[in-house]
Structure 1
Amino acid sequence: MGRFLWALLLLPVVALAALEVAPAAAPVVASGGTGLAGQLTQTVLGLLAVVALIFALAWLMRRVHQAAPRQGQVIDVIGAKALGPRDRLVLVQVGEEQILLGVSPGRISALHVMSTPVQPPDRTTQATPEFAQRLMELLGKDQKDKK
């Protein structure tokens, strides 16, 4: 993890070094076909560096958000279900009480207070989706056929 952070911090420096343009005082000599290819390569490398930086920062933000301590949290989201593009049901737990909320743009409504708490599914045993399981079976059959 430490190496990744150093690489992430050095990425902008490397990108700027790759995009560095010749000093203004130095004469610019135009060459035939390599000038255009060099500019195209420089543009593509710069674009790839920026895209890689965006993905690396998004990954880092997700990791930091997951590792953040949850001390003092009294409200916990048990589950959520999208009903439409902007509407959803959210089950939250406040202390010992669970409340089903309807969330839509500009409005949150308490729909039901659970008399008996709903037990969330165990997250340690994650079910394999049917598509992924079927794909693994097909890939396994392909490997057997090749042997």
Structure 2
Amino acid sequence: MNKLLVMCLLLPFTVLAAEPAAQAAKPIGGSGVGAQLGQLLLGLLVVIGLIFLLAWVMRRVQQIVPRGGQVIKVMATQALGPRDRLVLVQIGGEQILLGLTPGRITPLHVMSEPVHLPDGEPASTEFAQRLMELLGKDQKDKS
């Protein structure tokens, strides 16, 4: 896969090397400023298109890689603020609640019994309710 990517990146350079020197020196559209601006714009669009194409290819390649062998799984996350969040992580058979801040990751609680999340439902609301139950805080005690 890496050889294919290198070949695709080097292809434009091999085409330029194959052109005769006389043709390479001659402008494509004409000698005016408008033609040069059009050529510059076309080159910019090609580069931007290549960036988007490579990003799409990278996403497709990452999806192909099997993720079933991961030992650490993020079960659920809950945002507490713009930069702070709670994360429920499962490592093997044990679940740990982590507090994430910009400069620190703090283990908050090790679950005595694992939290089971049903598939297809948003995990954040059920996660928050289950967390309150496991920590022994009732929803009525919020006032």
* TM-score normalised by the chain length of structure 2: 0.59
- How far off is 1:48 after superposition? 1.0
1:90 matches 2:97: no
Asked if structure 2 preserves the Cα contact closer than 8 Å seen for 1:89 and 1:102, the reply is yes
| Matches of 2:15 and 2:37, distance apart in 1 | 16
Q: Which of 32, 37, 42 matches 1:40?
A: 37
Give unmatched runs, 5+ long, in structure 2.
Answer: 123-143
- How far off is 1:62 after superposition? 1.9
Query: AA paired with 2:106?
Result: S
SS of equivalent residue, structure 1 residue 84: coil
- How far off is 1:17 after superposition? 6.1
| Matches of 1:118 and 1:27, distance apart in 2 | 68
* Alignment size in residue pairs: 116
* TM-score normalised by the chain length of structure 1: 0.58
| Matches of 2:86 and 2:13, distance apart in 1 | 44
Q: Which of 67, 75, 78 matches 2:75?
A: 78
Give unmatched runs, 5+ long, in structure 1.
Answer: 1-5, 127-147
Q: CA RMSD in A?
A: 3.8
1:54 matches 2:51: yes
SS of equivalent residue, structure 1 residue 120: coil
Per-residue deviation, residues 33-89 of structure 1 (Å, max 9, x unmatched) = 862221111111111111111112222222222222336421111122332332221
Asked if structure 2 preserves the Cα contact closer than 8 Å seen for 1:11 and 1:53, the reply is no
Cα gap change, 1:15 to 1:46, in 2 (>3 Å): farther
